[in-house]
Amino acid sequence: MEFESWWLAAIPLFFGLGWAAARVDLRHEPRKRGALPDAYFRGLNFLLNEQPDKAIDAFIDVVKLDPETVELHFALGNLFRRRGESDRAIRVHLNLAERVDLDRSQREHALFELGQDYLKAGLLDRAEDAFNRLDATEYAGAALRHRMDIAQMVRDWPLAIDLAERLSREPGQARSHELAHFRCEMAVRALQSGSDDRLEQASRELDLAARAAPDHPRPFLMAGELAIEQGDPARAIRLWEAVAANHPAYLGLIASAWLAAHAAVDQSDAGIDALVQAHRRSPSIDTLAAIADAMERLRGEAAAMTWVRQELARHPSLLGLEKLFALQVRGASDEDRMQIETSQKVLQQHTQRLARYVCDRCGFKARSHYWQCPGCSRWDTYAPRRIEEMQR
C-alpha cells in the first residue's frame, strides 16, 4: 500500500495528542491509566494504516475522557477539511459541537468550524443553519460574512442586502460596493421580470445602489441604459457624464449607446467630441471603434481614417489596426480589398485572443465584461479593458 505523504504533516499533531493523553493519564486513577493511551495509540495506528475513519473513532474516545484534548481535535478536523475530506472534518467537528460537557465557547467554535465544513462540502442549507446559530457569539461577524457569501451563491439578493447592511454596521466592515452590486442585481431581476412596473422597480433599486456607492460606475451605467429604455436620452447622457468624469475607462462599455443618445438629442458632434476627450484620458478599443464608426457616418471615411491613424500612432494596438482595416476595406478597389482582407484574416487569428476580458484574481477569460467573475465569484475583478490593453 502506498504511504500517503500528507500524514507526515500531521506528525506534530500526533505528538500533541500523545502529550495531552499522557497528561490525562497522570491525573486519572490507575484503572484508567492503561485505557487512555490505548485509545490514542489505537488511533495513531489506524492513521498510519490509512484507516482514518477508525482513527477518528479512537480519537473521539480520547476526547471523551479529557476535554483538554479539544484543541488537538480542532487541528485534526481542520486538517481533514484542508485535505478536502469534508465528511471526516464534519464527523470530528459535529462530535465537538454536540458535547454538552464542553464549555459554551468551545461548542461555538466547533459550530463555526462545522459551518465551514458544510460550506466546503456544498451543503449550503446546513452551513447556513450552523452560521445562523452563531448570532451574538464571538464568531458572529465571521459567520455573517459566510452567510453573505452563501446568499450570493444562491443569488438571494434581498438576503445578501440585509446581511451586507448588518455587516456594514460593524467597525471596519464597509460593504458599500457589494451592496451596490446586490441592488444592481435586483434591478437586473426586475428588468427581466414581466411585471408592469418593472422599469420603476429597477429605477428604485439603481437609486439605492448609487446612494450605497456613489463612487462606483455600475449604478450610473445601468441607470443610463434604463433612461434610454424609458425614452429619456438626455437623462442617460447626464448620468453617463458622471461616469465620463470619474471613470472614463468604463465609457468603453457603453460607447455606442453614448453616441446614439447624443444623436437622439441632436448633439452628435458634441457626443463624438466628448468621447474623444474620454478616449484621450483612457484609450480603449471600444471607444476607438465607436468613435471611428460615428466619424465615418458624420464626417466621412477620410476623416475617420485620419483620426484612427493618429490614435494608433499614439497608442499602437492590433485591435485598433483591425478597425483601421475594416474602414479601409469599405472604400477600397477590388484589388486592394483582396489584399486588405487577407491581412485582416491573419490579424484576426491574433486579435481574437487579445479581445477578451480577464479576471485579475483567477485569470478567467471571457468575451464579455462581467461585474462578478464567473470563475471565482469576486466582484469588480474585470477591468473594462481587453487583454491587449491590459498588457500596455
Binding residues for Zn ion (CB under 5 A): 359, 361-362, 364, 373, 375-376
Residue nearer to Zn ion on the CB measure, 107 or 177: 177
Q: 275-313 in b/e burial notation, b at 16+ Cβ within 10 A?
A: bbebbeebbbbbbbbbbbbbbbeeeeeeebbebbeebbe
Considering the complex, state which of residue 221 and residue 359 has its C-beta at the smaller distance from Zn ion. 359
On whether the CB atoms of residues 274 and 289 are closer than 8 A, the answer is no
Per the CB < 8 A criterion, the answer to whether 47 and 13 are in contact is: no
How is residue 384 annotated by DSSP? S
Q: Closest distance between Zn ion and the C-beta of residue 41, in Å?
A: 46
Contacts of residue 13, Cβ cutoff 8 Å, sequence gap at least 6: 72, 75, 76, 79
> Widest CA span of the chain, in angstroms?
104
Least gap, CB of 381 to Zn ion (angstroms): 5
* Of the candidates 180, 239, 182, 227, the residue with the CA atom closest to the CA atom of residue 203: 227
Instruction: Kindly tell me which of 62 and 373 has the beta carbon lying closer to Zn ion.
Output: 373
Residue 299 or 361: the one with the smaller Cβ distance to Zn ion is 361
Q: Toward Zn ion, which CB reaches closer, 42 or 361?
A: 361
With contact defined as beta carbons under 8 Å apart, do 308 and 327 qualify? yes
Q: How far is the CB of 357 from Zn ion (least distance, A)?
A: 11
Grid cell for residue 195: 411585471
The smaller minimum CB distance to Zn ion, of residues 338 and 362, is found at 362
177 DSSP β-pair partners: none
What are the start-end ranges of the H helices in 197-333?
198-212, 217-229, 233-246, 255-264, 268-281, 285-299, 301-314, 318-331
Closest CB 99 distance from Zn ion, rounded Å: 40
| CB-nearer residue toward Zn ion: 98 or 360 | 360
> Cβ of residue 309: shortest distance to Zn ion, in angstroms?
36
